[in-house]
Amino acid sequence: MVLGVGLAVGTPAAWAHVHVSSDVAARGARALVTFQVPNESNTGARTTALTVALPSLTSASAEYLPGWAVTLDRDAAAGIVRSVTWTAVPDGGIGTDQFGLFRISVQLPDADTVSFPATQSYSDGTVVKWDQPPLSGGAEPEHPAPVLTLAGGPPAPHQHQPPAGTVSAPDASKPADNTARLLGGAALVVAAAAVFLVLIRRRS
């Protein structure tokens, strides 16, 4: 069995669509996005190609998948990646009652949701577009576009914090040391003056 292809047994109808998931579904995060693609052919045809439209992402790369060639449509002038296409090798693809997993590494946008319209092609020439938005009332259309819901931004880097209850206090020893030195110096001056006066009196 080709890596990235699984066997679908007793799959509910709601899951017989192209689905998207991510290891880090957060705004602005670097994430590994996975597309689960089932084979819904009633004629025994194999899924031979998948194209996923990307929401003008500035960075994207595709995971190596044996048995598939991958192409990224880059707009060098705009600095974005518009889509990614996987094409099966001859006599390859996703068979009946199987599903494939296709992964890309991307920089997610700063948005609440991200839509990834997909086009699935079969060996008998059938083309299915997974690009329909949700229906009014939240009902699911026949061929819904894969949508990823994003949470808040990526977690901030960990910063070292002092243990609870620990209070940083200024070093009070330095002013005390300075005061002691001043007092010691003054005492020496007074003592020297006293000795000087005694000597003068003796001479007189």
Specify the residue for token string 């006599």.
Answer: 91
Q: If DSSP codes are grouped into helix, strand and coil, which group holds residue 124?
A: coil
What gap in Å lies between CA 92 and CA 30, rounded to an integer?
A: 31
Q: Using alpha carbons only, what angle is made at residue 22 by residues 155 and 50, rounded to the nearest 5 degrees?
A: 150
Query: What region, left, alpha or beta, does residue 138 occupy, with left being phi > 0 and alpha being psi -120 to 50 degrees?
Result: left
Tokens of 138: 């939240």
pLDDT the model gives residue 190 = 56
What gap in Å lies between CA 79 and CA 124, rounded to an integer?
A: 36
pLDDT the model gives residue 156 = 53
What gap in Å lies between CA 110 and CA 57, rounded to an integer?
A: 11
Tokens of 195: 């000795």
Strand partners for 80: 75
What gap in Å lies between CA 45 and CA 94, rounded to an integer?
A: 9
Between the alpha carbon of residue 164 and those of residues 161, 167, 170, the distances in Å are: 8, 9, 18
pLDDT-flagged residues of the chain (< 70) = 1-15, 153-204
Q: For residue 108, count CB atoms less than 10 angstroms from its CB and return exposed for 0-12, middle for 13-18, buried for 19 or more.
A: buried
Length of the chain (residues):
204
Q: Which residues contact 154 (CB under 8 A, 6 or more apart)?
A: 24, 26, 27, 28, 29, 30
Q: Using alpha carbons only, what angle is made at residue 140 by residues 136 and 142, rounded to the nearest 5 degrees?
A: 115
Specify the residue for token string 């296709």.
Answer: 102
pLDDT the model gives residue 138 = 78
Q: For residue 34, count CB atoms less than 10 angstroms from its CB and return exposed for 0-12, middle for 13-18, buried for 19 or more.
A: middle
Give 83-119 pLDDT, tens digit per residue. 999 999 999 999 999 999 999 999 999 999 999 999 9
Give 162-181 pLDDT, tens digit per residue. 555 555 555 555 555 565 56
